[in-house]
Amino acid sequence: MATLICPEEHSPVTDAEAIRKACKGWGTDEKALISILGHRNASQRKIIRKTYEEMYNEDLVKRLESELSGHFEKAVYRWMLDPQERDAVILHVAIKEKPILDYTSIVELSCIYSPHDFLSVKCAYQARYKRSLEEDLAQHCTGDLRKLLVSVVGIYRYAGDEIDAKLAKSEADVIYNAIKSKEFNHEEIVRIITTRSKTQLRATLNRYKDDYTSSLTKVIRRALTKSGTDEESVTRVIVSRAEKDLEVIKELYYKRNSVSLDHAVSKHTSGDYMDFLLTLLGNKN
């Protein structure tokens, strides 16, 4: 469930005029921008962008970039792009503009989509950067990480709901044996994780839990160091999911941390950036 609150009807012309006014003269009226753009869904924002360009002969996204700054600018910029284009930008930043490859974003984005929808993101990536996501990714990592990530991103998984119980059993055993001998990079673990359908994989993990009375995710968590949260991750998750399933994420966040996500955001961010995120989280302003 989405958290975004937006009117069923809106006038793109009125919106474009109000945005223009907020950007004009000295300073920018960030509150006005948030009150409009923080309450429009993807197709409404697309129409506003088009209308604005027709009315003022100026690209709205570029104008906003020049008016705003810092994390607020980044968040608004991502919010204004088409969802597929936005995720292509996030993936590109994760691969090419970080000192070390930001694999968290890559895994996250490749997992929240259906194979079909993730393909649209890959097509948006190709249209924008004239290269495939896979080739950029493969070029920017090596060894086990490459083996895992290129397959996670590349393979067009089956999306059906069938479960092969025998297979779940045999592959749970394969994983158990590989982990027992501490081969976390075992070729078969990579194959199972990267190629099986989500439903089948879930069955295998449940089987693992039943047979070996421990959940695989716990084993893996022990094997990985946890990376800290930063503004970029907060922006990514809230902007990408506000129109999708942010309500569910809020619930899970609360269950795990006994603190609401809204509270955490207002504690760790500030100013227009905070106001914008809280708006996308469904707070009225």
Interface mask toward a second copy for 186-215; x: CB under 8 A: -x---x--xxxx------------------
Closest CA to 207 of 158, 167, 180: 167
Please state the φ and ψ torsions of residue 28, each to the nearest 5 degrees: -130, 145
Does residue 227 touch a second copy according to CB under 8 A? no
Q: Which residues contact 219 (CB under 8 A, 6 or more apart)?
A: 179
Does residue 134 touch a second copy according to CB under 8 A? yes
Q: Which stretch binds a second copy (CB under 8 A): 70-78, 82-90, 130-138, 238-246?
A: 130-138
Does residue 158 touch a second copy according to CB under 8 A? yes
67 marked as part of a ligand binding site? yes
CB nearer to a second copy: pick between 111 and 259: 111
Among 131, 202, 221, 268, binds a second copy (CB under 8 A): 131
Tokens for 279? 């708006």
CB nearer to a second copy: pick between 111 and 156: 156
DSSP 3-state of 219: helix
Does residue 122 touch a second copy according to CB under 8 A? yes
Q: Which stretch binds a second copy (CB under 8 A): 29-37, 142-150, 203-211, 217-225?
A: 142-150
CB nearer to a second copy: pick between 69 and 170: 170
Does residue 126 touch a second copy according to CB under 8 A? yes
Q: What DSSP line would sit under 46-71, residue for residue? A: HHHHHHHHHHHSS-HHHHHHHH--HH
228 marked as part of a ligand binding site? yes
CB of 219 to a second copy, least distance (A): 22
**Alpha helices of the chain — where are they, by DSSP H?**
12-23, 30-37, 42-56, 60-67, 70-80, 83-96, 103-112, 115-129, 133-139, 143-154, 165-180, 187-195, 198-212, 216-223, 231-241, 246-257, 261-268, 271-280
Closest CA to 174 of 163, 162, 165, 186: 186
CB of 232 to a second copy, least distance (A): 26
Catalog residues that contact a second copy under the rule CB under 8 A.
Answer: 119, 122, 126, 130-132, 134-135, 138-139, 142-143, 146-147, 150-151, 154-160, 162, 187, 191, 194-197
Provide the annotated binding site for Ca(2+).
25, 27, 67, 226, 228, 269
